[in-house]
Structure 1
């Protein structure tokens, strides 16, 4: 099991960046263990009562909790966080620990909210990312914003999804602009993007459709498709080898080299005749006679 995974649960431990996901999974985990009553915050929404009785109900609930259940709930919390989070868990009361973690991790302040919104609207789909994964990433960012008390509408999600798409989806985005507002729901947008992704994938040329004007690509494709036994040599027209490996070509080039070497030797012998081998007087006499 991963070092970031609790022995008591199958999800990642709490760290500095995953509080929204962790708190949802941890709540479900404690409910399944029948320990949530020892942790649950007492709020107006939880009790369905007025604000004036919340603190009174809170104290009553704290007093009714079982000491054993509280200890077990605290143990589950402690074992489900990274070491860096242990400083927030000094209390022996799991309800107080839960509240401290919420206060520490929930984003607060205008600057933080603006930064999250900016990141939400400027994120881009990666080239290797599917539409389904991209939509999941946008929804995850929206979830984090909502956990930080930032309102995220369906239109905001549509805007973030479409702004992050590459130019290949411009056609479907233009068609979305022509869709009546009442029909432009998040589900409709996702459905159209998924369909367009399938269309784009179906129009990618197969390897057998490599353009004939690209000889390098065509040769590479043939070498991958044809077994070597069926390759025809361009020099001897025999099968089973390439021109660069042809034994007949190698023998031919060797004979050319040998012939060239013999000719160079003969020429060198003629050039290297010593001056004393010539009869300069006879040569001069012949020159005079030729002149007359």
Structure 2
């Protein structure tokens, strides 16, 4: 019997929510450890076939949980859920300073909507902060954050006629005022 997922399929705009839902879904089916790489292919030949069956099941679940426009990214990995997961992350999470700049800009421009509760506002702030944390490289330091924030402040202070410069700066692998 076919099982339908109970959350939105991956699109261009819902990666963070989808990632959490998909991780929980895979965990519920005993597949997450394989997908995240903590359960590598066993070296004993008699265990390999079961592991491969499990890997194909995980890859199938991931493939069926992405929208049509996202399948192009993972079609070549139909039997490799670890590669699928990494590819989707690389497509949707650019850990470059420009992406963090935009995420910080989103965070700092949040304001309470007229009919919004404080709890809903707090949830939006928490979600924006989670997005920022997700965009940080693994060993991101406070010193690096300070340098980026200083550069970001300078970039935000530039008038509109500097838009070509600011666009170019946002593509750099590192942001600092020097």
- Asked whether the 8 Å contact 1:106–1:147 carries over to 2, the reply is yes
1:120 aligns with 2:107: yes
CA-based RMSD of the aligned residues comes to: 2.1
Alignment: residue pair count: 129
Partners of 2:116 and 2:106 lie apart in 1 by 18
Work out whether 1:27 is the aligned partner of 2:32. no
CA distance in 2, matches of 1:8, 1:63: 30
Which deviations, in whole Å up to 9, do the C-alpha atoms of 1:132-158 show, x marking residues without a partner? Answer: 11111111111111111178x9xxxxx
1:103 and 2:99 correspond: no
Which of 1 and 2 has greater Rg?
A: 1
Partner of 1:75: 60
Task: State the secondary structure of the residue aligned to 1:128.
Answer: coil
* Secondary structure, counterpart of 2:24 in structure 1: helix
d(CA) in 1 for partners of 2:37 and 2:16?
A: 16
Counterparts of 1:1-292 in structure 2, within 5 Å, are 8-41=4-37, 61-63=40-42, 66-90=51-75, 91=77, 92-149=79-136
- Structure 2: gaps spanning 5 or more residues: 143-178
Whole-angstrom distance in 1 between the partners of 2:112 and 2:118: 8
How far did residue 63 of structure 1 move?
4.5
TM-score (norm 1): 0.41
Q: Is this contact kept in 2: 1:108–1:148, CA < 8 A?
A: yes
Higher relative CO (CA 8 A, sep ≥ 6), structure 1 or 2? Answer: 2
Confirm or deny: 8 A CA contact 1:8 1:76 kept in the other structure: no
